[in-house]
Amino acid sequence: MPLLLAPGTTLVAATHNPGKAKELVALLDGRFEILSAGSLDIPEPDETESTFVGNALLKARHAAELSGRIAIADDSGLSVTALDGAPGIFSARWAGPSKDFAEAMAKVEARLIETGSDDRSAWFTSALAVAWPDGPSVVVEGIVRGDLVFPGRGVNGFGYDPIFVPTGHDLTFGEMEPAAKDAMSHRAVAFEKLKAALF
Ligand code: IMP
Among 76, 105, 182, the mutation site with the greatest number of ligand 1 atoms within 8 A of its Cβ is 76
Which ligand 1 atom minimizes the distance to the CA of 101?
12
Q: State CA 82 to chain mean position distance.
A: 21
Residue 49 has pLDDT above 60, yes or no: yes
Q: How far is the CA of 2 from the centre of ligand 1 (A)?
A: 30
Give yes or no for a contact between 144 and 160, defined as CB atoms under 8 angstroms apart: no
Pocket of ligand 1 (CB under 6 A): 74-78, 91-92, 124, 157-161, 173, 185
Which of 144, 93, 153 minimizes the C-alpha distance to 122? Answer: 144
5 lies in some domain: no
191 lies in some domain: yes
- Please count the structural domains in the chain: 1
Q: Is 160 exposed, middle or buried (0-12, 13-18, 19+ CB in 10 A)?
A: buried
Residue 60 has pLDDT above 90, yes or no: yes
Among 17, 158, 161, 175, the mutation site with the greatest number of ligand 1 atoms within 8 A of its Cβ is 158
1 lies in some domain: no
42 lies in some domain: yes
Residue 133 has pLDDT above 60, yes or no: yes
35 lies in some domain: yes
Which ligand 1 atom minimizes the distance to the CA of 95?
12
Return the active site residues. Answer: 75
Mean pLDDT of 118-125: 98
2 lies in some domain: no
Residue 112 has pLDDT above 90, yes or no: yes
Q: What is the pLDDT of residue 2?
A: 57
Q: How far is the CA of 121 from the centre of ligand 1 (A)?
A: 17
- Antiparallel, parallel or unpaired: β 71-80 and 10-13: parallel
Q: Is the model more confident about 103 or about 35?
A: 103
CA atoms 19, 192, 62, 13: torsion sign: positive
Q: State CA 176 to chain mean position distance.
A: 18
154 lies in some domain: yes
Domain enclosing residue 72, as ranges:
10-198
Query: Please, what is the average pLDDT of the chain?
Result: 92
pTM above 0.95, yes or no: no
pLDDT confidence of 147, banded at 50, 70, 90?
very high
Q: Is 191 helix (H, G, I), strand (E, B) or coil?
A: helix
pLDDT confidence of 129, banded at 50, 70, 90?
very high
Q: Is 163 exposed, middle or buried (0-12, 13-18, 19+ CB in 10 A)?
A: buried
pLDDT single digits (tens) 151-165? 999 999 899 999 999
Q: What are phi and psi of 63, to 5 degrees?
A: -70, -35
What is the radius of gyration, based on Cα positions, of the chain? 17
pLDDT single digits (tens) 174-194? 999 988 998 999 999 999 999
33: domain CATH number? 3.90.950.10
Q: Is the model more confident about 70 or about 20?
A: 70
The protein residue whose alpha carbon is closest to atom 20 in ligand 1 is: 161
3 lies in some domain: no
